[in-house]
Amino acid sequence: MSQRVVIAGGAGYIGSHVCVELMSRGDTLLIIDDFSNAHPEAIDRIRELSNANVVVLKRDLADPMHKADILEAIKAFRPDGAIHLAGLKAVGESVAEPERYYNVNIGSALTMIEALKAANAKKFVFSSSATVYGDGNTNPVNESGGTAPTNPYGRTKFFIEEILKDIAISDADWQIVNLRYFNPVGAHPSGRIGEDPNGIPNNLFPFMAQVAVGKRDKLSVFGNDYPTRDGSGVRDYIHVCDLAKGHAAALDYLAEDKKGAIDINLGAGKGYSVLEAVAAFKRASNRDIPFEITPRRDGDIAEIYAAS
């Protein structure tokens, strides 16, 4: 059954893939994005790839001056529910500027909750992260794993999950899914949308991609002395198109009138090391990926992957 869905952060890397997936199956979307970390062209490309039109509201969910407009637009759209992906996501930056991270990420989530309540559309899919687990769980990790995020970015994700659980307790009509993403990578097969971070990439795959195209000389592999099979860090890399399908499945689940709040891991259920990822990227791109081993990155854990 097609749905009317608000997509906050719909122009970003993950959001754009979610939009294409949902529009291709007939859902009608209202995208809200401030384009602070997204390209306006992403919208043209979403339209092109899904062969459908989409309404876009360029507003900042964390800006009190934009709130009235956002509430009005969401109400007028008459949504069934929303997917909330808007937020800041750089770990290092969150350590340096925690107030900004708490303001923007938690403020945006609260605005979305208020708007959906006012529109009487109490279905909420939240873009959370496996970062809420932190270190200390035995792999593979399932949703009952202990939560201990290690930085302000991770704590914003954790706190928003907790806020949503409190909201679900306060009003039994709310239907909430917290999607805990492992490591999303890759791009739509058309090559028209993908990950294109501003500045020096923080994450492994965009960094490798920039080395492959000659934009950067070499990759730094952060540590080869972890207690893993080859000493480099192990993560669960999930293709962004599979991740997008996970959002569609979450909406279908909520359409069955499921009440309350639930946490769901979105991972591939398999861990790969950094060195294995480099070898695979080399094979797939047919390009060399020069690298050097450098010291561990602060805050990194040895290994995390989802239970399948």
Contact footprint for ligand UD1 (CB under 6 A): 89, 91, 129, 131, 153-154, 183, 202-204, 207, 219-222, 233, 235, 274, 297, 299-300
DSSP 71-117: HHHHHHH--SEEEE--S---HHHHHH-HHHHIIIIIHHHHHHHHHHH
Do 122 and 175 form a contact (C-beta atoms < 8 A)?
yes
Taking the complex as a whole, how short is the minimal distance between the CB of residue 237 and ligand UD1, in angstroms?
Answer: 8
In sequence order, what are the beta bridge partners of 262?
A: 177
Number of other CB atoms surrounding residue 200 within 10 Å: 9
Taking the complex as a whole, how short is the minimal distance between the CB of residue 225 and ligand UD1, in angstroms?
Answer: 12
Query: Strand runs (DSSP E) across the chain, as ranges?
Result: 4-8, 28-33, 55-58, 81-84, 123-129, 175-181, 183-185, 219-222, 234-235, 237-239, 260-266, 272-273, 291-294
- Eight-class DSSP state of 188: -
- For residue 59, is it left (φ>0), alpha (ψ between -120 and 50) or beta? beta
Q: Indicate the residue among 77 and 181 with the shorter CB distance to ligand UD1.
A: 181
Q: Indicate the residue among 54 and 164 with the shorter CB distance to ligand UD1.
A: 164
Taking the complex as a whole, how short is the minimal distance between the CB of residue 280 and ligand UD1, in angstroms?
Answer: 13
Joined together, the tokens standing for residue 167 give 């909201």
Taking the complex as a whole, how short is the minimal distance between the CB of residue 70 and ligand UD1, in angstroms?
Answer: 25
| Residues whose CB is less than 8 angstroms from the CB of residue 178 and which lie 6 or more positions away in sequence, other chains included | 126, 128, 161, 164, 261, 262, 263, 264
Joined together, the tokens standing for residue 89 give 């996501």
Amino acid letter for position 3: Q
Q: Indicate the residue among 70 and 86 with the shorter CB distance to ligand UD1.
A: 86
Q: Indicate the residue among 43 and 274 with the shorter CB distance to ligand UD1.
A: 274
For 60, 107, 148, 167, the CA distances from 68, given in Å and listed in that order, are 11, 14, 35, 21
Number of other CB atoms surrounding residue 192 within 10 Å: 16
Taking the complex as a whole, how short is the minimal distance between the CB of residue 79 and ligand UD1, in angstroms?
Answer: 27
Taking the complex as a whole, how short is the minimal distance between the CB of residue 173 and ligand UD1, in angstroms?
Answer: 30
- Specify whether 153 is catalytic: yes
Q: Indicate the residue among 78 and 218 with the shorter CB distance to ligand UD1.
A: 218
Q: Which of 101, 153, 237, 272 is catalytic?
A: 153
Residues known to be catalytic: 153
